[in-house]
């Protein structure tokens, strides 16, 4: 199953703004909505962003998503220590008839 492409790591200091990119193709991001998940290993992943830029209730507005063409981004502003986690993008792939995930980005708060 093909994966979406994310940087393996990102970092920032408390209060900073960081962005995580996600690159795909015309069969996934280019034609379907992107969602983002926050995950601490060994726990249940948490939906952060759905439909490219929508936040579920309870997700702080420090988290925002965007999409352009076959790429998407997650931005986290006002970085906090509790934001340290793995972040995954995902989208439906119409060629594979399945969900494809990015490889994940480990965010470190310095």
Partner 1 sequence: EVQLLESGGGLVQPGGSLRLSCAGSGFTFSNYGMSWVRQAPGKGLEWVSGIGSGGARIDYADSVRGRFTISRDNSKNTLYLQMNSLRAEDTALYFCARRRTMSGGFSGMDVWGQGTTVTVSS
Interface residues toward partner 1, by CB under 8 A: 1, 3, 32-33, 35, 37, 39, 41-47, 49-51, 56, 86, 88, 90-92, 96-104
Cβ closest to partner 1, residue 17 vs residue 51: 51
Cα(37)–Cα(53) distance, integer angstroms? 13
Cβ closest to partner 1, residue 69 vs residue 98: 98
Cβ closest to partner 1, residue 49 vs residue 76: 49
Smallest distance, partner 1 to C-beta of residue 90, A: 7
Smallest distance, partner 1 to C-beta of residue 85, A: 13
| Residue bearing tokens 């994940």 | 104
- 3-class DSSP assignment, residue 99: strand
| Residue bearing tokens 């690159």 | 23
Distance of CA 103 to the CA centre of its chain: 10
Smallest distance, partner 1 to C-beta of residue 72, A: 13
Cα(69)–Cα(92) distance, integer angstroms? 15
């Amino acid at each position: 199953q093909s994966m979406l492409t994310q940087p393996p790591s990102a970092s920032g200091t408390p209060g900073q703004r960081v962005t995580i990119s996600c690159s795909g193709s015309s069969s996934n991001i280019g034609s379907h909505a992107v969602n983002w998940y926050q995950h601490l290993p060994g726990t249940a992943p948490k939906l952060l962003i759905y439909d490219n830029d929508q936040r579920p209730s309870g997700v702080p507005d420090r988290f925002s998503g965007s999409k352009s063409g076959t790429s998407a981004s997650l931005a986290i502003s006002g970085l906090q220590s509790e934001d340290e986690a793995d972040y995954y993008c995902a989208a439906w792939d119409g060629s594979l008839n399945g969900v494809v995930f990015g490889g994940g980005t480990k965010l470190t708060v310095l």
